[in-house]
Structure 1
Amino acid sequence: MKLHKAWAVATAAVVVPCVAVIPTEAATMPFTDIKNSGSEAELYKAVSELYSQGIVFGTTSTTFSPYQNLTRGEAAYFLAEALKLETKNVVNPGFKDVPASHKYYGHIAALAEKGIIQKNTNYNLDHFINRSQMAKMLTLGFDLQQATTLSAPFSDFTKDNETNKYIQTLLNYGITQGTSATTFSPYAEVTRGQMALFLYRTLQKNENDFYIISVE
C-alpha cells in the first residue's frame, strides 16, 4: 500500500509508511509523574495516547520519567512501535552489543532493515540519543519530505552537516522548534517526554496531512 502526501504548498507526491492512528479518546494511563494541566497538558495527552497503543512504556508501573534522558535502546522501541514495524521476523543487523536475546533486538533490527539507522559495529544501547539523531530517525522513519534549503536562523547549524536537513524538516512540519531563537542545540540529549511529544506530533501530522490516493 502506498500513501501519498497532499500539501497545499507542494504538488510532488511522496511515499510514506503506514503508521498508527491516534484515537480521539485515550485510555487512562497509570503514570502519576505527569500532570494533565498547565505546561504538561500536551505531554500528558501525548504519553497517554501513545501508551494506550503500546508505543511507549514507563520506567516503573506508575512513573514515565518524562525528564529522564532517552536511551538509544528506548528510542528504537518507541519509533519501531510507532511505525508498526515487524519486530519478530527480522534480519540480524550485526550489532555486537545487541544479542538476539536482548529486549530491544527486534526493534533495532527492524529499524536497521528499513535503513532508518545505520548498521555499524555497535549500536550503543545505553547511550543517550541527541536532538540531531532524533531528527534523522523521525525524518527517515516517517519518510517526511526532506528540506532542501535551510531557513532557520540557527547559529549552531554547522557547515555541511547532513543532520541540518533533518532538523529543518522537523521545523517545517512543526514537530519541533529551537531551544532559543538562534539555537537548535543539535547535540543536546532528548528526554523521554520530548520523544513522546515528537512522536505524537508526527503521528498527528501524518493523520491530518496524508491521505490514500492509490493502492497497489
Structure 2
Amino acid sequence: MNKKRSRLAWTLSAAAVVAPCVAVIPSEAATMPFTDIQNSGGEGELYKAVHKLYSEGIVFGTTSTTFSPYENLTRGEAAYFLAEALKLDMKNVVNPGYNDVSTTHKYYGHIAALAAEGIIQKGTNYNPNHFIKRSQMAKILTLGFNLQQATTLSAPFTDFTEDVETNRYMQTLLDYGITEGTSSTTFSPYMDIRRGQMALFLYRTLQKNDNELYIISVE
C-alpha cells in the first residue's frame, strides 16, 4: 500500500459522493444534517468527527437527517467508511471472490478495494451484514493506515484474544491513542462497534497526518 496516499487522505478534498443511504450529497461546506448528534456535552467530539467525515464523503447516515451513532456498524458499512477514508480506487478492482458480495452489491467496490490492498482477507464469505467487532476494527485501521505495529502488549487487559497478532493490532491503537479499553482491565475484543465509535476512531486516526503520526507510549 502507498503509505503517503493513505495518511494524506485527510487533507485531500473529496469529490461529492452520493452515499448509499443518504439523499443529501456531502460537500466540503456541507452543513451537519444529522439531528441525532448534538454539538455539546459528551457528544462534542462525536459531532466534530461525524461532521468532518460526512463533509469529506467518508461516512453516511441511516437517513438524510439521522446518523444513528449508537447503532451497530455492519462490516459492509465499515468497508465503505475505510475505503473512502483511504481514497482507494473502488472502480478498477479485481473481484475478490466472496460468495456473499456480488459485483452488484452496494459495497462491492469498497470491499474489493480493501481486499486488493490486503487490509481484509480474501475467503469464501465476507459477511457484509454482520456487525464488525472491536478486534476487527483494530486490524483494518492498523493495516489500512500502515500504523507501526506494537511489538509488546503493555495494556493491563485480561481479555485479550488467544491470537497474538490480533492482540498487537489492539495494542497498536492503544499506543497511538486512537481508542482505549472498555474498562481499566478489559478491551472487549468481541464487542460490536457502533457507528459513532467508528467515526471517532477514523477521525482520530485521520487527524494525524504524515508528520504527526506518533505513538503515545510503548513499554
Is 1:198 the counterpart of 2:201? The answer is yes
Residue 18 of structure 1: how far off its partner (Å): 4.1
Is 1:59 the counterpart of 2:62? The answer is yes
Distance 2:3 2:157 in 1: 33
Choose which of 160, 165, 170 in structure 2 pairs with 1:162: 165
| TM-aligned CA distance change 1:16 to 1:99, over 3 Å | closer
Is 1:88 the counterpart of 2:78? The answer is no
- Tell me the matched-pair count: 199
Q: Counterpart of 2:64 in 1: which secondary structure?
A: coil
Aligned to 1:19: 9
User: In structure 2, what residue type is equivalent to 1:47?
Assistant: V
Residues 152 and 168, structure 1, Cα contact 8 Å, conserved in 2: yes
Choose which of 46, 49, 63 in structure 2 pairs with 1:46: 49
Distance 2:175 2:95 in 1: 34
Aligned to 1:74: 77
Residue 17 of structure 1: how far off its partner (Å): 4.9
Residue 29 of structure 1: how far off its partner (Å): 1.2
Residue 27 of structure 1: how far off its partner (Å): 3.3
Distance 1:28 1:139 in 2: 30
Residues 8 and 209, structure 2, Cα contact 8 Å, conserved in 1: no
Is 1:147 the counterpart of 2:137? The answer is no
Distance 1:143 1:27 in 2: 30
Choose which of 102, 107, 114 in structure 1 pairs with 2:105: 102
Deviations along 1:5-52, one digit per CA (max 9) or x if unpaired, are xxxxxxxxxx965422278x8632100000000100000000000000
Deviations along 1:101-160, one digit per CA (max 9) or x if unpaired, are 111000000000000000010100100000000000000000000000000000001344
Distance 2:159 2:188 in 1: 7
Which structure 1 segments of 5+ residues have no match? Answer: 5-14, 211-216
Residues 8 and 210, structure 2, Cα contact 8 Å, conserved in 1: no
Q: Choose between structure 1 and 2 for higher RCO, CA contacts under 8 A separated by at least 6 residues.
A: 1
Deviations along 1:74-118, one digit per CA (max 9) or x if unpaired, are 000000000000001100000011010111000000000000000
Give every structure 1 segment of 4 or more consecutive aligned residues whose post-TM-superposition deviation is greater than 6 Å. none
Aligned to 1:7: none
Q: TM-score of the superposition, structure 1-length normalised? A: 0.87
| TM-aligned CA distance change 1:26 to 1:169, over 3 Å | farther
User: In structure 2, what residue type is equivalent to 1:128?
Assistant: F
Q: Determine which structure has the larger strand proportion and give its number.
A: 1
User: In structure 2, what residue type is equivalent to 1:186?
Assistant: P
The root-mean-square deviation of aligned C-alpha atoms, in Å, is: 2.0
Q: How is 1:201-212 mapped onto 2 (pairs within 5 angstroms)?
A: 201-206=204-209, 209=212
| TM-aligned CA distance change 1:29 to 1:125, over 3 Å | same
